Amino acid sequence: MASMTLSVDNANADIEIYIDFDAFSVLNQVTIVRVHPDGTEFIVRGGYQITTFAPSFNYFLIDTEAPLDTAVTYRAFEDVVGLDPSTTVITGGPVTITSSGYQWFKDPARPWANIRVDLCTEQVPCTGLANPVSLMELGNKTRSSDASLIPVLDRKLPADVWARRKGITASVTFLTRTLTAVSEVETLFTAGGPLFLQIQPEFGWPDAYWQPGDLVEEYTGSADQRVPYRRWTVPLVQVDRPSPASAAQGVVCATWCVINAAYATSQDLANTGQSWLGVANCSAVSSPFTGYGFGPYGSGPYGG
């Protein structure tokens, strides 16, 4: 009989998922989702359309993006076109990751580089500095407008063209206390992609994905630069969750590369009856999980 076993690893802030797919048929695509208390579901990274084989197939993955201090459940279902996703379901949970007051800076594509962060800064007296990275400051949040005021000849007022306000830009400042921690920070940021920040709720920063900008390292705490303390500052721009099927880059569907892959010519797209609005809101492509490429420039002949 098919079964799901869940194990919480509080030290690494993740949930290990082991599934025995014995009860599924000869060849299926199976998707694993995390269910939050409000009923919303998120496809677990690496758990999208897994191909299973009978008579026995086991699957193991680690969910590093589950919320902290929140009970979640999981379900796996046969993800085959035309098949009701509720027909064959394996469920597990609820389980909860205990944060113990720590924050986390995570790379969704490289969880081995994740960093645990405490609040023991120079301004907050504390003892037992076993953790080498501390959160110092979360910067102001800016939500930029997306509007243009266009002067009109012989009119007092301009034409106002506007669209949905942009998402949040902010920054984060943190402290490292050892040279080993300096190396860990460099490892986390070196891939250059978006990071997943999990901050205590009282800060008013819900779990979100952020594209970091230039990473600035400052010597601090002493005129003697041999003292290993460093202060780090990095600007952040909030972005969509990277594709759960992979670490694909970019907007998951509204890109030229995805449209080009789906439709050989512009006429092929026009024949579907889709509009440019359909391209923008992802309804013009069959799957919203493809992303548009891998690596520093993406894939495809044009780097996308």
Question: Is the predicted pLDDT of residue 158 greater than 50, yes or no?
Answer: yes
Percentage, residues of the chain above pLDDT 90 = 48
Phi, psi of 297 (to 5 degrees): -125, 5
**pLDDT recorded at residue 97:** 97
Q: Which CATH code is given to the segment(s) 3-95?
A: 2.60.40
Do 174 and 124 meet the contact criterion of CB atoms below 8 Å apart? no
Q: How far apart are CA 106 and CA 112, in angstroms?
A: 9
Listed residue (292, 197, 206, 278) closest to 245, CA to CA: 292
pLDDT class for 120, splitting at 50, 70, 90? confident
pLDDT tens figures, 227-237: 788 999 999 99
pLDDT tens figures, 194-221: 999 999 998 999 999 999 999 999 988 6
Q: Where are the domains of the chain?
A: 3-95, 103-239, 248-304
- What would you report as the CA-atom Rg of the chain, rounded to the nearest whole angstrom? 23
What's the whole-number average pLDDT of the chain? 82
Question: Is the predicted pLDDT of residue 32 greater than 50, yes or no?
Answer: yes
Count CA within 13 A, CB hemisphere, residue 242: 22
**pLDDT recorded at residue 51:** 76
Q: Which CATH class is domain 103-239?
A: mainly beta
**pLDDT recorded at residue 298:** 46
**pLDDT recorded at residue 297:** 40
